[in-house]
C-alpha cells in the first residue's frame, strides 16, 4: 500500500465492525452516527451502480463498500473533504470500487448515466439556510450542515434524473423535516417506502430519521420500522448500536473475555 499523507489535525478512525479506516479532522469534518446508520439502512444491490451524494469525507460510501461489490461514485463540493475521501479510498485499497468526484451534485449526470443508478445514498445538510446562528461554524461544517450549496429539493430532483425506474434513494435527516421530506419525494415521483426513527434514548424524542424511496414506485405499502435507540438510560450503547459499531454486542464481548 502506498504511504498516505496526513495533514495537520488529521487522524485515522476505524469502524470496528468493518476493516474500513477513515481520515478525519474534527476542525474540518468527522463522520458521526448518521453516516454509519445510513450505510446500513438500505438493501444494497450486488451489482449495478451506487452514488453517495453530499459525501463529505467519504464515510458513507466507504462503509457501504463492505456490503456490496457494486461500484460506488461519491460526489462532494468541498475540495478539502473530497481530498480526505480520496486518501481514505487509497488507504483502504478501494480504488477499483469507489471513486470520489469533486463537483457540485447538480452536475452528477456529467459523471453517471441518466436513469442509470440503482441506489443513491445521501446524508444532506439538515438545516434550512435561514435557521439558527451560523457565525461560529467553520466553513466546512457550515456547508455540510446548512442548505447553502444544495437543498432537499435539488437532491430529489437530481436523484429523479439519475435513478433507474425502481431505483432507490436512501436519506438520513431530521424528524422535524419529515413532512417536508415526504412532500418533496412525492413531488419528484420518489415514492416513500420505509422510514425508521432514531432516538438518543427511550425517554428522548427522535433526533434522526432514515427514509427510503423508490423512483416511480407505488405510494401504497409504506412501512414505519421499529424505533432504533442509540443509548441505554445509563449512557451505554444499546445492543443494536454496539453491534453496528463493533460487530457484536457488549454481552458477546464479555462472554468471549470470560472464556
For residue range 151-204, list pLDDT tens digits in order. Answer: 899 999 999 999 999 999 999 999 999 999 999 999 999 999 999 999 999 999
The answer to whether 188 and 151 have CB atoms below 8 angstroms apart is no
Prediction pTM value: 0.89
**pLDDT at site 208:** 93
Q: Which residues does residue 73 pair with via DSSP β-bridges, in sequence order?
A: 51, 99
The domain limits of the chain are 10-254
Dihedral sign for Cα 101, 105, 111, 117, please.
Answer: positive
- pLDDT classification of 139: cutoffs 50, 70, 90: low
Helix (H) or strand (E) holding 211: strand 208-215
| Residue among 215, 132, 223 at smallest CA distance from 176 | 132
CATH of domain 10-254: 3.40.50.150
Distance CA 50, CA 39 (A): 12
What pLDDT was estimated at residue 258? 52
Dihedral of the alpha carbons of 26, 28, 33, 38, in degrees to the nearest 10: -160
pLDDT mean across residues, the chain = 88
The pLDDT assigned to 150 comes to 61
Amino acid at each position: 500500500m502506498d504511504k498516505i499523507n496526513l495533514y495537520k489535525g488529521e487522524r485515522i478512525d476505524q469502524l470496528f465492525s468493518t476493516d474500513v479506516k477513515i481520515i478525519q479532522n474534527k476542525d474540518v469534518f468527522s463522520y458521526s452516527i448518521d453516516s454509519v446508520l445510513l450505510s446500513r439502512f438500505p438493501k444494497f444491490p450486488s451489482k449495478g451502480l451506487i452514488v453517495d451524494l453530499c459525501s463529505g469525507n467519504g464515510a458513507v460510501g466507504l462503509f457501504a463498500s463492505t456490503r456490496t461489490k457494486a461500484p460506488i461514485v461519491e460526489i462532494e463540493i468541498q475540495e478539502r473533504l473530497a481530498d480526505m475521501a480520496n486518501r481514505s479510498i487509497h488507504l483502504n485499497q478501494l480504488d477499483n470500487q469507489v471513486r470520489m468526484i469533486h463537483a457540485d451534485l447538480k452536475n452528477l449526470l456529467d459523471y453517471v448515466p441518466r436513469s442509470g443508478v440503482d441506489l443513491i445514498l445521501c446524508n444532506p445538510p439538515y438545516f434550512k439556510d435561514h435557521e439558527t446562528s451560523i457565525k461560529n461554524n467553520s466553513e466546512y461544517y457550515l456547508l455540510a450542515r446548512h442548505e447553502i450549496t444544495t437543498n432537499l429539493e435539488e437532491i430529489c430532483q437530481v436523484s429523479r434524473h439519475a435513478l433507474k425506474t425502481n431505483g432507490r434513494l436512501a436519506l438520513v435527516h431530521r424528524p422535524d423535516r419529515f413532512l417536508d421530506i415526504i412532500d418533496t419525494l412525492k413531488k419528484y415521483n420518489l415514492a416513500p417506502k420505509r422510514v425508521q426513527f432514531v432516538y438518543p434514548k427511550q425517554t428522548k424524542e427522535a433526533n434522526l430519521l432514515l427514509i427510503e424511496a423508490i423512483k416511480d414506485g407505488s405510494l401504497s405499502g409504506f412501512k414505519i420500522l421499529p424505533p432504533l435507540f442509540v443509548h441505554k438510560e445509563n449512557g451505554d450503547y444499546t445492543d443494536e448500536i454496539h453491534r453496528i459499531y463493533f460487530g457484536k454486542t457488549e454481552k458477546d464481548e464479555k462472554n468471549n473475555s470470560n472464556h
